[in-house]
Structure 1
């Protein structure tokens, strides 16, 4: 449930309560509007667990304001530079394939390209939760990225989100190596590198894991050389890590340090 324009925060909790009790997105939206004496200044978007979507833009919402409902999603915007923002968002979301995060980022960029908020840019945020009910209060949130104040909030949000996806890809690469698929692991690592080549941390830990746990030092040697050249402190990190958690392979620390 998203509540926008003249926000009524209770629409969030009330909407989720109705959804949990079996109401569809359209039914939930109708109930919220019926109980809101100021519905004409509200903007609400709802998607239920079955993918049904519904949205409302009140007639007194500051122009330009509107929404688009699609298969499993709804986009809303108000105080827009042009009327075409919601349609641009929906078109970009539908046209982008792959990870949900990338589809949302594409929609945000399309909104800005279509004019965005006539007041300019300041902040952006992206939150993705699991589709299954968590067993613990701290579980269920997969990504929660906020850029509260930035000259290019969508660009900064994109940079951080790409870093999240790069870490995910590196983790998957380690899992592939554990299954004996070293070629696939390196291919997945290169996908991580394409998303974020600046962060050295995931590159270091990926190389160390493959070298020590999967006997692949020769394969990851170029990674160590580049990381050490860019930031020699990772050699110190290797030494301290081995002190706290001795590596599996005798002499591995010395072999890796010799690469830098």
Structure 2
């Protein structure tokens, strides 16, 4: 028992050490600009971030549907993510949760952290030893924060961008904020990686249902441009997923509508063209399906073999004659 109390005392001594004693160099080095935000209409919550550091999306953004989101940066203490979400899930506000963790952190003066809870309440903390230019601005449904910036204009520009794009879906709105930060000067070192996550308004039963959007650019000359491209692709595949669900329910017309929307966004994408062709064939619109199938096969023969395999899975319901028309024309 004495050994246990000695061990516990040792842990407390380490945890309650002073900032002067704290070795900040052991922490992840993610100086960056970020936003935590909530859509007042949908209740969705998001984190967006860019940095001149590899894979910033693996350390800064945290979120849980129906609970809140966290951005932990500067000299990163990753515990703020899961522990902050746990405190908010227990009913603590963003202010209460962040206050508890900051008060216990011996390295707090090197931290920059922002919390947002499911009610849109926000709280941010920028430690005194964060590298200039470092600041944060908080408001209902958003907090923007940055450190190691080229100038002091970055954070105000982020706030303006958030307030100016309320008409956009949350992920696109967050992207506008990141772009505004970069245009205002951004990270003094340049740019390398970026990420956006979006979680839902309501708690989910399964952890794999948590993130509605989870996009990362780990290493790129233009991370925000690449993130913008990936977000567009993600939106197109949302239409694809809806089309797949409609196909499962044998709602061919709805599937055609959804696949068609995806194909309009990326007409050069073979996957999107292919499932549009399948939906057309299943709805007996062979005159429209056949040119699509044949153009796809000309680009990649593997799709022809793929088509032969679909009837056994119930995904393509055509006659033998129609199948011959699809796969045998060269």
Cα distance in 1, alignment partners of residues 202 and 231 from structure 2: 22
Specify which of 242, 249, 257 is matched with residue 318 of structure 2: 249
Alignment partner of 1:98 is 2:168 = yes
Task: Indicate the RMSD between aligned Cα atoms, in angstroms.
Answer: 2.8
Count of aligned pairs: 257
8 A Cα contact 1:221 1:259, kept in partner: no
Deviation for aligned residue 1:148: 1.3
Specify which of 17, 40, 53 is matched with residue 86 of structure 2: 17
TM-score for both structures, normalised by structure 1:
0.83
Cα distance in 2, alignment partners of residues 104 and 252 from structure 1: 47
Partner residue, 1:196? 266
Which protein has the bigger strand share? 2
Cα distance in 1, alignment partners of residues 270 and 284 from structure 2: 21
Cα distance in 1, alignment partners of residues 285 and 93 from structure 2: 52
Cα distance in 2, alignment partners of residues 244 and 196 from structure 1: 27
Alignment partner of 1:35 is 2:104 = yes
Alignment partner of 1:125 is 2:195 = yes
Change (3 A) 1:208 1:107: same
Deviation for aligned residue 1:89: 2.5
Deviation for aligned residue 1:161: 2.2
Alignment partner of 1:5 is 2:5 = no
Change (3 A) 1:24 1:120: same
- Render the CA deviation track for 1:228-258: whole Å, top value 9, x for unaligned: 4443432232123335547322133233347
Alignment partner of 1:169 is 2:239 = yes
Partner residue, 1:61? 130
Cα distance in 2, alignment partners of residues 77 and 220 from structure 1: 51
Q: Unaligned stretches of 5+ in structure 1?
A: none
Deviation for aligned residue 1:62: 0.4
Deviation for aligned residue 1:27: 1.9
8 A Cα contact 2:148 2:187, kept in partner: yes
Partner residue, 1:237? 306
- Render the CA deviation track for 1:109-161: whole Å, top value 9, x for unaligned: 22222222111111112222233222223332222222211122222222222
Cα distance in 1, alignment partners of residues 262 and 157 from structure 2: 29
Q: Secondary structure at the match of 1:106?
A: helix
Give the 5 Å matches for 1:87-166. 87-96=156-165, 97-166=167-236
Cα distance in 2, alignment partners of residues 29 and 247 from structure 1: 53
Give the 5 Å matches for 1:72-87. 72-87=141-156
Deviation for aligned residue 1:69: 2.2
8 A Cα contact 2:110 2:129, kept in partner: yes
TM-score for both structures, normalised by structure 2:
0.67
